[in-house]
Chains A and B, each alone.
Chain A
Amino acid sequence: MWLFDKDLWSEIFHTLGKNMFRTFLTMLGVIFAMLILVLLLGSANGMSNGFDKVFAGTASNSLFVWGQSTSEPYKGFERGRNIRYKLEDAEILKKQIPEIEVLAPRIELGSHRDVTTVYRKGQTSGSTVYGDFPEIDNITKKRLVEGRFLNNNDMEDSKKVCVIGEETYKLLFEKGENAIGEDIRINGVFFSVVGIYKPNNNINIDGENAVFIPFTTFQKAFNSGDRMGWMAIAVRPDTKVAVVENQIKTILKTKYDIHPDDERAIGTFDMSEIFNNISAFTNVLKGFSFFVGIFTLLAGVIAISNILLITVKERTKEIGVRRALGATPKVVKRQIVVEAIILTAFAGLIGFAISVGILAILNNLWGSGDDFPFVNPMVSIPQFGISFLLMVSLSILIGLLPANKAIKVRPIEALREE
């Protein structure tokens, strides 16, 4: 196998090493091309990862449903009627729409984003108070700093426990003070802190200054009966959120006597739309990077072909001698094509190494920050594989140019050249 022919390789390194400076200059084009390609792709990946991090913990195929006021009169009801859901709606929806994976009802103290004063040993915080099902954690994951989130035991026994936000903790406790097991007071009822969470960087639905208590506890402590504020719903991965959204609206409209054309009465928010927009954006970014990178690479490889053409011209006589001694056109061609491949591959690897280094530095600078969506900017192995493969196949194609030129020269003409 010629690939393992030591002589072929020594020939190639001889010829390339003979003119180090020129070889280096030739490679520079490909080095830069690879640099640009990997930096662009890596940055696009970093951005994509950064967005992923921002939304980590939020189920992408999720939907939020709340009640607003009607905009159309219907069945004897006037417009402007406020829609208030009941807890039973959750069960009805779950039963009628099998595509719903998780449905977490929620209730808030007061109206939406209302602030309730929370007391503890003379310190107070104005926080939003939520009554939640533990399932909510499957839709918007809480980053717990300490303790645990609400669980089913808390629900069943209507335990007076709560999970508080870091902001609330700062307002109610001294710095470094232990909060787990401590009591806080809301509307005259004491709750024991079981967990502290940190804001998630994600789309902030709950606010940072908030207290979560079990839904059942909420019902008893604040006498909310079967009222329900809103629902967080996760849809099966194979189902479109919009489809489920429509089904939910239809069911709720019938149940609450809302005009079928009333668009305002039921408030919904489709989380998947945001995710789709962002992934479309990052995909376009990646595609563009690839496009630009590949064409830069093409330019680099053409530069190599150019230099090889000059080299072939210079080596006309040598090639003539080789052919007089019995080198077949195939052998001559192969050597030049392999030279092109070696140059390109080596330059590509150098460019790759440099750009990976730069990406690592960028990652150190920005990767850990929360404010800039730029995490782990790296090219994936398939991305690298494809660009490398493409580069090498380009170099083969373009190496054939000087190779064909080399064998076109008849040995006699080559030898005559002085």
Chain B
Amino acid sequence: MIEIKDLHKSYKMGSNSLHVLKGINFKADAGELVAIMGSSGSGKSTLLNILGMLDGADSGEYTLDGVPIKDLSETKAAQYRNKFLGFVFQSFNLINYKSALENVALPLYYQGVPRRERQEKALHYLEKVGLKEWATHLPSELSGGQKQRVAIARAMAAEPKVLLADEPTGALDSTTSYEVMDLIQKINDEGNTILVVTHEEDIAHMCKRIVHLKDGVIVEDKKVKQVRADQYV
């Protein structure tokens, strides 16, 4: 599903150049649930941004579902993001003047799905994350966990190939974190490919594979026995 070869990325900081990713080789098959771990500065967010087509790599290859991702125009990138990827952010990034339902429907709007169908689909995904009754509420009326579940519903609504979650539990307490992970696991059970960036061990062990990043290179890549989150909920 995802394949990257010898990926390099550096940032210019004044006259200095900061080499963040120093040749990453990584492959993820369909249906995998991968945790990308690393301390801050290890390059895990940069990797995710490149995977998410939010940022471009300096060199290396990136193939997503057989499509080479290279030198995309902003318009093309936006279309690919919409088609291939679902994003879940640490700080939820819901649009605060839109109801939960409208937030979930937003990617579908950009896909050009007709209004009625959009609403139905959005409601379906809200139901899936257990927030059907909250459809008309604004993000400010929701708790942190609920917000993240709306964000996950939004990421799922466009039926992407890959779900990218950047510290999805970073702003949540542990109970709520497990609820969110439970949801992510269930979505993965349905066969969706999910990448989770985290620095929390327990969250990482709820995935099926852990990739350790350190100083811009992968230092460890192992399959783990998945810890189910529902036992904590």
Q: Which residues of A are at the interface with B, using a C-beta cutoff of 8 A?
A: 6-7, 14-15, 18, 317-318, 320-331, 407, 410-412, 415, 418
B89 on interface, CB distance cutoff 8 Å: yes
List 16 A-B pairs, Cβ < 8 Å: A14-B98, A321-B94, A321-B95, A322-B110, A324-B52, A325-B81, A325-B106, A325-B107, A325-B158, A326-B82, A326-B83, A326-B158, A328-B75, A330-B75, A407-B74, A418-B91
Q: Which A residues lie within 8 Å of B91 (CB)? A: 418
Closest residue of chain B to A411 (Cβ to Cβ) is B54
Known: A7-B115, A329-B75, A415-B54. A324 touches B87 (CB 8 A): yes
Q: Smallest CB–CB gap between B101 and chain A, Å?
A: 13
| A-B CB contacts (within 8 Å), total count | 63
Q: Which A residues lie within 8 Å of B95 (CB)? A: 318, 321-322
What is the 8 Å Cβ interface bit string for chain B, positions 98-110, against chain A (1 contact, 0 not)? Answer: 1000000011011
Q: Smallest CB–CB gap between B155 and chain A, Å?
A: 9
Q: Which A residues lie within 8 Å of B40 (CB)? A: none
Do the beta carbons of B74 and A325 come within 8 Å of each other?
no
Q: How many residues of B contact A (CB 8 A)?
A: 27
Q: List 12 additional A-B contacts (Cβ < 8 Å) besides A324-B81, A328-B110, A331-B110.
A: A15-B97, A320-B93, A321-B94, A321-B95, A325-B106, A325-B158, A326-B110, A329-B75, A407-B74, A410-B54, A410-B55, A412-B55
Do the beta carbons of A415 and B89 come within 8 Å of each other?
yes
Q: Which of B63-96 contact A (CB under 8 A)?
A: 74-75, 78-79, 81-83, 87, 89, 91, 93-95
Q: Which A residues lie within 8 Å of B176 (CB)? A: none
B49 on interface, CB distance cutoff 8 Å: yes
Do the beta carbons of A321 and B98 come within 8 Å of each other?
no
Q: Smallest CB–CB gap between A405 and chain B, Å?
A: 14
State A407–B73 Cα separation when bound (angstroms): 12
Q: Smallest CB–CB gap between A336 and chain B, Å?
A: 15
State A212–B107 Cα separation when bound (angstroms): 87
Q: Smallest CB–CB gap between A194 and chain B, Å?
A: 77
Q: Which A residues lie within 8 Å of B52 (CB)? A: 324
Pick the residue among B54, B110, B115 that contacts A327 (CB under 8 A).
B110
Q: Which B residues lie within 8 Å of A407 (CB)? A: 74
Do the beta carbons of B79 and A325 come within 8 Å of each other?
no
Of A7, A407, A415, most B-chain CB atoms within 10 Å: A415
User: Would you call the interface of chain B mostly helix, strand, loop, or mixed?
Assistant: helix
Of B54, B81, B83, most A-chain CB atoms within 10 Å: B54
Q: Which residues of B are at the interface with A, using a C-beta cutoff of 8 A?
A: 49, 52, 54-55, 74-75, 78-79, 81-83, 87, 89, 91, 93-95, 97-98, 106-107, 109-111, 115, 154, 158
Q: Which A residues lie within 8 Å of B158 (CB)? A: 325-326
Q: Smallest CB–CB gap between A41 and chain B, Å?
A: 40
Do the beta carbons of B93 and A321 come within 8 Å of each other?
yes
Pick the residue among B49, B93, B109, B154 that contacts A7 (CB under 8 A).
B109
Q: Smallest CB–CB gap between A1 and chain B, Å?
A: 12
Q: Which A residues lie within 8 Å of B89 (CB)? A: 415
Q: Which A residues lie within 8 Å of B83 (CB)? A: 326
Closest residue of chain A to B50 (Cβ to Cβ) is A412
State A77–B154 Cα separation when bound (angstroms): 109
Q: Which B residues lie within 8 Å of A18 (CB)? A: 97
Do the beta carbons of A325 and B54 come within 8 Å of each other?
no
Closest residue of chain B to A329 (Cβ to Cβ) is B74
State A326–B107 Cα separation when bound (angstroms): 6
Pick the residue among B78, B82, B87, B111 that contacts A329 (CB under 8 A).
B78
Q: Smallest CB–CB gap between B52 and chain A, Å?
A: 7
Closest residue of chain A to B55 (Cβ to Cβ) is A412
Q: Which B residues lie within 8 Å of A323 (CB)? A: 78, 81
Closest residue of chain B to A6 (Cβ to Cβ) is B115
Closest residue of chain A to B98 (Cβ to Cβ) is A14
State A410–B158 Cα separation when bound (angstroms): 22
Q: Which A residues lie within 8 Å of B109 (CB)? A: 7
Do the beta carbons of B111 and A326 come within 8 Å of each other?
yes
Of A323, A325, A410, most B-chain CB atoms within 10 Å: A325
Do the beta carbons of B54 and A328 come within 8 Å of each other?
no
Pick the residue among B49, B78, B97, B98 that contacts A328 (CB under 8 A).
B78
Known: A410-B54, A418-B91. A325 touches B110 (CB 8 A): yes
State A323–B93 Cα separation when bound (angstroms): 12
State A328–B79 Cα separation when bound (angstroms): 7
Do the beta carbons of A324 and B54 come within 8 Å of each other?
yes
Q: Smallest CB–CB gap between B23 and chain A, Å?
A: 21
Q: Which A residues lie within 8 Å of B93 (CB)? A: 317, 320-321, 324, 415
State A315–B158 Cα separation when bound (angstroms): 23
Closest residue of chain B to A7 (Cβ to Cβ) is B109
Known: A321-B95, A325-B87, A330-B75. A412 touches B54 (CB 8 A): yes
State A412–B83 Cα separation when bound (angstroms): 18
Pick the residue among A7, A14, A318, A327 that contacts B78 (CB under 8 A).
A327
Do the beta carbons of B54 and A326 come within 8 Å of each other?
no
Q: Smallest CB–CB gap between B21 and chain A, Å?
A: 14
Q: Which B residues lie within 8 Å of A318 (CB)? A: 95
